[in-house]
């Protein structure tokens, strides 16, 4: 079973992943029902999760013997910032959304059955390694399973590049973006395409900054990402707007030297350092060649950007 804590306090990927020995969510709660300190068990202290165990001890709650018992206990005694819909338990998973008055947070328990059944929804969420695998086979077809926004005029390549830009500025750190697509543009030609393309009126500020910082001699998108990393406008307190990077100083403890950038032929990603408290925000750029080689990672990453609950069904 997997435990995942989606939190901007948790490293360059803003999430923490841990393998657990239990066969089910119910079995994990049964084993830990009388646990006073969760950190040795999980490796982190998820915001609010301890409340169910504190209340179990305070009120003498019996160990749940079924999923229905556990659901009732969670809805009555688990502290979350939100309603019952923020606590979602089924036979194979528990998904919880909350916030700590600074940023939104979520934590999850997934048994091996749901991981095997839904890799196109969960592969990125349970992936804990930097960088993502960047191997890519021959170009192949890839169709996103979630909505994406066209970023303008099509290029001439037999590929499409997707941009997943998970920056935020007001504490709303979950379900923060709809991915962009550049049809007919491979990642290798994205820099040239950005230089030659007038921005769409609806472009996110991050795309505008990226376009502004592409220089005529750039053969790949890597140098522009390096300049974005040094551009001072990205922080938690202000909306990032494009402008000359030398107009302002870095704010709020940003340290570009702590950021991580990885660029390959068909995948580029950056974990941009924000500050020592709130950690990092992530940008991913990949084309259909990479996505077709790693379809579960690609589909689940696109989904991760737009909704806190990867198992929510909209069809």
Over the chain, what is the mean pLDDT?
93
Both 86 and 185 in one domain: the answer is no
Q: Report yes or no on 161 lying in a domain.
A: yes
Nearest C-alpha neighbor of 101 from the set 62, 33, 180, 48: 48
Residues spanned by the domain of 197 = 149-306
Are residues 198 and 102 located together in one domain of the fold? Answer: no
Please indicate, yes or no, whether residues 112 and 224 belong to a single structural domain of this protein: no
pLDDT at 274: 86
Would you say residue 308 has pLDDT above 80? yes
172 and 284 in a common domain: yes
Shared domain for 188 and 283, answered yes or no, is: yes
User: Of 93, 117, 141, which residue sits at a domain end?
Assistant: 117
pLDDT (mean) for 252-258: 86
Q: Do 298 and 155 sit in the same domain of this protein?
A: yes
Q: Please state the rounded mean pLDDT for residues 4-11.
A: 96
| Residue 139: pLDDT band with limits 50, 70, 90 | confident
- pLDDT band for 287, please (50, 70, 90 cuts): very high
128 is a domain residue: no
Share of the chain above pLDDT 90, in %: 81
State how far the Cα of 171 lies from the Cα of 38, in Å rounded to an integer.
Answer: 26
Indicate whether 113 and 153 sit together in one domain. Answer: no
pLDDT at 259: 97
Last residue of a domain, one of 76, 102, 117: 117
**Which of 36, 34, 42 has the alpha carbon at shortest distance from 7?**
42
Q: Which residue has the tokens 């999980």?
A: 42
- Place 234 in a pLDDT band, splitting at 50, 70 and 90: low
Report yes or no on 312 lying in a domain. no
Domain presence at residue 127: no
> Is 86 exposed, middle or buried (CB count within 10 Å of its CB: 0-12, 13-18, 19+)?
middle
Measure the CA–CA gap between 128 and 64, rounded to whole angstroms.
31
Whether residue 302 sits in one domain with residue 154: yes
- Summarised one tens digit per residue, pLDDT across range 22-78 is 999 999 999 999 999 999 999 999 999 999 999 999 999 999 999 999 999 999 999
Residues 97 and 230 in one domain: no
Same domain, 65 and 200: no
pLDDT tens digits for 77-133? 999 999 999 999 999 999 999 999 989 999 999 999 999 999 999 999 999 999 999
Question: In 3D, which of 221, 240, 236 has the Cα closest to residue 286?
Answer: 221
- Please tell me whether residues 104 and 160 are part of one structural domain: no
- pLDDT, residue 248, reads 56
For 281, the token pair is 């925000």
Whether 106 contacts 85, CB under 8 Å? no
Cα end-to-end span (Å), the chain: 27
Position 140 in a domain: no
Residue of higher predicted confidence among 302 and 244: 302
Domains in the chain: how many in total?
2
Q: Does residue 252 carry a pLDDT above 90?
A: no
Report pLDDT for 244.
47
- What does the pLDDT read at residue 249? 62
**Same-domain pairing of 288 and 155:** yes
Nearest-CA neighbor of 136 among 310, 286, 260?
Answer: 286
Q: Which residues, 6 or more positions from 65, have their beta carbon under 8 angstroms from its beta carbon? A: none
Q: Order of strands, edge to edge, in the sheet holding 279-287?
A: 149-150, 180-183, 160-166, 279-287, 267-275, 260-263
Is residue 135, in this structure, part of any structural domain at all? no
Average pLDDT, stretch 190-208? 92
**Domain-located, residue 271:** yes
Identify whether 125 is part of a domain: no
């Amino acid at each position: 079973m997997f435990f995942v804590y989606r939190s901007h306090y948790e490293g360059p990927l803003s999430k923490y992943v841990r393998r657990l020995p239990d066969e089910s969510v119910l079995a994990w709660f049964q084993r830990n029902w009388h646990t006073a300190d969760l950190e040795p068990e999980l490796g982190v202290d998820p915001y609010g999760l301890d409340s169910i165990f504190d209340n179990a001890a305070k009120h003498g709650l019996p160990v749940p013997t079924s999923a229905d018992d556990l659901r009732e206990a969670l809805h009555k005694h688990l502290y979350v910032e939100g309603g019952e819909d923020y606590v979602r338990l089924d036979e194979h998973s528990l998904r919880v959304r909350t916030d700590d008055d600074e940023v939104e947070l979520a934590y999850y328990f997934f048994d091996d059955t749901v991981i095997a059944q839904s890799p196109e929804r969960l592969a990125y969420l349970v992936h804990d390694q930097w960088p993502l695998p960047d191997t890519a086979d021959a170009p192949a077809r890839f169709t996103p399973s979630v909505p994406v926004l066209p970023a303008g005029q099509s290029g001439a390549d037999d590929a499409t590049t997707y941009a997943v830009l998970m920056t935020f500025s007001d504490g709303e750190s979950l379900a923060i973006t709809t991915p962009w697509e550049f049809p007919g543009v491979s990642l290798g030609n994205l820099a040239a395409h950005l230089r030659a393309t007038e921005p769409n009126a609806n472009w996110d500020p991050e795309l505008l900054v990226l376009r502004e910082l592409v220089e005529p001699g750039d053969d790949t998108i890597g140098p522009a990402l390096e300049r974005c990393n040094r551009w001072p406008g990205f922080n938690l307190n202000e909306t990032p707007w494009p402008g000359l990077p030398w107009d302002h100083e870095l704010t709020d403890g940003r340290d570009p030297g702590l950021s991580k950038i990885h660029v390959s032929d068909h995948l580029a990603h950056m974990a941009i350092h924000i500050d020592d408290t709130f950690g990092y925000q992530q940008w991913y750029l990949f084309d259909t060649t990479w996505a077709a080689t790693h379809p579960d990672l690609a589909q689940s990453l696109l989904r991760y950007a737009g909704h806190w609950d990867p198992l929510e069904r909209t069809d």
